Amino acid sequence: MAKTKVDYRKAERAYRGLWGIFIGLIVIVLAMICFFYVFLVRTIRIVGNERYTSEEVIQMSGLPYEESMFLIDKEQIRNNLETSPYLEVKEITRIWPFTVRITVHERVAVAYTEYGDNRLVLDEKGYILTKDGIYYQDTLVKVTGWKISEANIGEKIVTEEPSIANSYATIMMKLGEYELLDRVEGLDIRDLLNIELTMQDGMRVKLGDSTSVDDKMTWLSQMLIELEKEGYSGGVLDLSSGNTAVYRPEQGK
């Protein structure tokens, strides 16, 4: 009788073991089905694009439809897209079960500068978009006064004095924020204590250094309106203190 009970218990343990293996195999099979056949990319959503269409961004990303959501290589997608100097990838997000959202920032040409035989086209942060800016120069701010030590497309411009590039970015971003870029013809940053803008009407704007830029841009915006009302153009507008604006018209006006 005891022997029968022992045999029964052994059989029961063996049965449970086999059943556990069977359940494990089912789980593995289901996981593989989900991995390769269920959770697949069916929608790719592009956010932040203007220059490129969503279809163009998707094509450049190299992310295929029907790719497993588990196999998405975010770093490869980022590298693929950022081969374009105009694109910066901000975020790549899986939205389960079938969607991938790619958020990009498109760099916009706002300035150019001469570098040897090249005209470097720059965005507001100093990223180089192209070295052939001859076709853009009439619509962009011309930057002068810095010594460039390295210039690679898709990367930030490198100057001998790093603070010059930082000052450029600070001023250009604020000009964009205050919607003044289309009023500016040139930016001279040869002297970081005496940065100067040249407006489209020939007016020279003395900014001083790159501190208190918000205050200086507020003054600039207001003074341009007032001077236009009074019929003034050209001359010199001194905003270097950040606290006041002093205008000196051209002689004879």
Give the residue among 172, 177, 120 at the shortest CA–CA distance from 151: 120
d(C-alpha 223, C-alpha 153), whole Å: 37
Q: Are residues 11 and 60 in the same domain?
A: no
Classified as helix, coil or strand, 62 is coil
When computed from its CA atoms, the radius of gyration of the chain, rounded to whole angstroms, is 31
At residue 34, does pLDDT exceed 60?
A: no
In-domain check, residue 4: yes
Is residue 171 located within the same domain as residue 66?
A: no
> 250: which DSSP letter?
P
Q: Is residue 109 within 8 Å of 123, Cβ to Cβ? A: yes
Check which CATH number belongs to the domain holding 80 and give it: 3.10.20.310
Let me know: does 191 contact 215? Beta carbons within 8 Å. Answer: no
State the CATH number of the domain containing residue 197.
3.40.50.10960
Residue 121: band (very low, low, confident or very high) from pLDDT cuts 50, 70, 90: very high
Whole-number Å distance between alpha carbons of 170 and 165: 9
User: Alpha helix (H) ranges present in 34-116?
Assistant: 54-61, 74-81
Q: What is the pTM of this model?
A: 0.82
CA distance 46 to 103: 6
If asked whether residues 143 and 236 sit together in one domain, one would say yes
Same domain, 18 and 80: no
According to DSSP, residue 73 is labeled -
Ranking 58-72, 130-144, 227-241 by mean pLDDT, the lowest is 130-144
User: Which is more confident, 121 or 12?
Assistant: 121
Question: Which of residues 81, 106, 131 is at a domain's end?
Answer: 106
Look at the chain and report how many structural domains it folds into: 3
Range of the domain at 222: 111-248
Q: Looking at residue 139, what is its pLDDT?
A: 85
Q: How confident is the model at residue 1 (pLDDT cuts 50, 70, 90)?
A: very low
β-strand partners of 21: none
Q: Does residue 26 surpass a pLDDT of 90? A: no
**Given pLDDT bands bounded at 50, 70 and 90, which one contains residue 70?**
confident
Segment 74-106, tens digit of pLDDT: 999 999 999 999 999 999 999 999 999 999 999
Given a cut of 70, is residue 9 above it in pLDDT? no
